[in-house]
């Protein structure tokens, strides 16, 4: 699949339904249990990236915990909302496949239901990029949709976006070389369906991406 096709169609769908998405996400309770778990792993004052920060609700919580947190988001309407919520945070407007991340730049990367919009090849590339962007010992908190469905959705609350589910069996080979602290399937507060929550550390020492 052409990179621009899935990304442009997904962002276009979110822009058309931006008001609906903003209202929905603003009602979600933050922090979730998983976000608290992620926060406990991080050192005091950690530099954290919220990758796909949406309207900035979780980014705001990370900053209130006094982490040096910044965000990245591909939909302009959501960037505007996030900047209003977190006026002192650096929030970059960029797509995942074109965003440059500093090598070993972060102690933690939080990515909540954002990489669900990537086809398999791009997902693997992004997982490798996030690993390189973590410092040795740094933590990735990643939420993915559970299941086998992949493709553009028409019967959906945001119709037209690309959506990709994953299974634990698919993910295990991609997590070789990580120190996996949690890999579980669960319901997720504020969202329908089942989700995979992953808490994984980039090991200290020489990096090997399996």
pLDDT digits (tens, 9 = 90+) for 1-34: 555 688 999 999 999 999 999 999 999 999 999 9
Which residues, at least 6 apart from 145, have a Cβ–Cβ distance to it below 8 Å?
Answer: 113, 116, 163, 164, 165, 166, 193, 194, 195, 196
SS3 68: strand
Helices (H), 27-88: 33-41, 57-64, 76-85
User: Which tokens belong to 200?
Assistant: 């994984």
pLDDT digits (tens, 9 = 90+) for 136-185: 999 999 999 999 999 999 999 999 999 999 999 999 999 999 999 999 99
Give ∠ CA 134-164-203 in degrees, rounded to 5: 20
More confident residue, 164 or 207: 164
Query: Which pLDDT score, from 0 to 100, does residue 210 have?
Result: 45
Q: Provide the CATH topology of domain 3-201.
A: Rossmann fold (3.40.50)
Domain range summary for the chain, segments of one domain joined by +: 3-201
């Amino acid at each position: 699949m052409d990179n621009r096709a899935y990304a442009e169609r997904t962002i276009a769908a979110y822009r058309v339904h931006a008001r609906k998405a903003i209202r929905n996400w603003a009602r979600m309770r933050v922090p979730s249990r998983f976000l608290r778990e992620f926060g406990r792993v991080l050192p005091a004052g950690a530099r954290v990236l919220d990758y796909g920060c949406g309207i900035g609700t979780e980014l705001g919580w990370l900053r209130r915990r006094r982490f040096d947190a910044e965000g990245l988001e591909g939909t302009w309407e959501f960037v505007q909302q996030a900047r209003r919520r977190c006026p002192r945070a650096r929030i970059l407007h960029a797509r995942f496949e074109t965003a440059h991340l500093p090598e070993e730049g972060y102690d933690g990367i939080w990515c909540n239901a954002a990489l669900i919009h990537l086809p398999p090849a791009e997902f693997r590339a992004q997982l490798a990029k996030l690993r390189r962007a973590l410092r040795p010992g740094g933590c990735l908190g990643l939420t993915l949709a559970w299941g086998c469905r992949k493709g553009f959705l028409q019967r959906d609350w945001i119709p037209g976006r690309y959506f990709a589910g994953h299974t634990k069996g698919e993910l295990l080979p991609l997590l070789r070389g990580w120190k996996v602290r949690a890999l579980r399937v669960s319901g997720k507060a504020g969202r329908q369906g089942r989700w995979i929550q992953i808490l994984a550390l980039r090991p200290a020492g020489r990096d090997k991406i399996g």
